[in-house]
Amino acid sequence: MEYRHVPFITLSEIKPRVWITLSGCNFKCKGCFSPAKGIAGQKMDVDELVSLVKKASLDYYQKLPGEIIITGGEPTLNRSYLLDLVSKLNSSAVIIIETNGYFLDEEYIEELIKVGLSEIMLDLKAYDEGLHRWYTGFPNKTILENARTIHEKINLIIKTVYTPGIIDEVEIEKIARFISDIHPEIEYRINDFKPLKGLSRTPTDLEMENAYSAAKKHLKNVIISRSCRREKTTPKKKSWITVFPDGTMKRRSLKN
Ligand code: SF4
């Protein structure tokens, strides 16, 4: 029996959309603000996790989710677990993984598609090899190659966190140029950095807008967002529901 540690899953209040957070990550990003970078939460096998997703969704929405995003931490760490999870979640939902892309290769991507994956959201931390290595502890050659492979096979979204003084407008334009060489219509999302432990700061609105303009020179679909990954706009009074492995629910907002 295989397990991953799950700190929580999250339900959107906007529409039946569920995020599954699998804890643990191979990268050592200097600015990581994920509560799931290290091992956190309860050990769950795939059947237990699928039951939690279905029960929480039926209790809250009175129906199964239309979209499920498997995130982390890093969801690809345990290949057989992830394949089993995607396969057992696969009802009629759109299933997406959010990944740093390091462990993927053509065969792994094809296996995921075969069991029902709909889309890959690739976190591209930096284009410059030295910067990527410094920031994450790992090279990015495989990840850049994987971006091309993913685009050939399945819907690809690429995401970068604007981190002032480290991953800024100049680096974001390099990434946008790289993406446009694959295809100029690939969606590119620029999120803002949330400072932790003294590294960098939150970018200003002007910095985010300048990064957007730099990326727009090369790409048709660029989005800047300070909110959660799949929520392009967060209507007032709408937020998210955190569901813990024991099934208890807690409402939260952009502030927490
Ligand atoms: S890949 Fe994501 S979860 Fe892993 S260390 Fe980097 S920011 Fe944190």
d(CA 104, CA 77): 10
Ligand 1 probe mutation, 33, 37, 71, 99, most atoms within 8 A of CB: 37
Question: pLDDT per position in the chain (256 positions), as tens?
Answer: 799 999 999 999 989 999 999 999 999 999 998 889 999 999 999 999 999 999 999 999 999 999 999 999 999 999 999 999 999 997 789 999 999 999 999 999 999 999 999 999 999 999 999 999 999 999 999 999 999 999 999 999 999 999 999 999 999 999 999 999 999 999 999 999 988 777 899 999 999 999 999 999 999 999 998 655 555 555 556 688 999 999 999 987 655 5
- Rounded distance from Cα 37 to ligand 1 centre (Å): 6
CB of 228 sitting under 6 A from ligand 1 = no
Domains of the chain in start order, with CATH, are 4-252 (3.20.20.70)
d(CA 123, CA 120): 10
Nearest Cα residue to atom 6 of ligand 1: 29
- Rounded distance from Cα 26 to ligand 1 centre (Å): 8
Q: What is the DSSP string of 179-223?
A: HHHH-TTSEEEEEE---BTTBS-PPPHHHHHHHHHHHHTT-S-EE
Token pair of 141 as six digits: 């050659």
CB of 100 sitting under 6 A from ligand 1 = yes
